[in-house]
Amino acid sequence: MNIHPIRNEDDYRATLREVSALVDADPAPDTEDGERLDVLTTLVQAWEARHFPIGAPDPVEAIKFRMEQGGLTHKDLEGLIGKSNRVYEVLGRKRPLTLAMIRRLHRALNIPADALIAETAAA
């Protein structure tokens, strides 16, 4: 198995082409091609993490995403954020989350706390 590090954009694109061909072939994990796919995928993930980092989501977007995932409504957040007007203010970015809100949202909706404490984008 002859594998090289990804050092530049050309190496990255060539590796992606090879990974794509291997995925299409669907090799068994314990074969040489399967192991090659595993190693190349790890290299691609490392390159992408270094060159295309994804930051933490905006707190309001994290809440809205969880609401969408769980089929939750604004009414469902009242016990976590406060009365209806408070929920709308937070989701409309007119009011910041308090520490108590962050704790309740984290516990009840399993939203990572670091996503909730990040700066909220301006409306």
Q: What is the mean pLDDT of residues 22-37?
A: 94
User: Are residues 26 and 72 located together in one domain of the fold?
Assistant: no
Residue spans of alpha helices (H) in the chain: 9-25, 32-51, 59-70, 78-81, 84-91, 99-109, 113-116
Domain with residue 107: its CATH number is 1.10.260.40
- C-alpha 117/C-alpha 38 separation (Å) is 35
Residue 37 lies in a domain: yes
| Whole-structure pTM value | 0.60
Residue 3 lies in a domain: no
Rg (CA), the chain: 21
For 24, the domain range is: 9-51
Q: What is the mean pLDDT of residues 4-25?
A: 95
Q: Provide the domain count of the chain.
A: 2
- C-alpha 105/C-alpha 31 separation (Å) is 45
Name the DSSP class of 12.
Answer: H
Q: What is the pLDDT of residues 50-102, one digit of tens each?
A: 999 887 789 999 999 999 999 999 999 999 999 999 999 999 999 999 999 99
Q: What is the mean pLDDT of residues 30-53?
A: 94
User: Are residues 27 and 70 located together in one domain of the fold?
Assistant: no
Q: What is the pLDDT of residues 17-27, one digit of tens each?
A: 999 999 999 99
User: Are residues 110 and 69 located together in one domain of the fold?
Assistant: yes
Name the DSSP class of 74.
Answer: G
Query: Residue 2: what pLDDT?
Result: 87
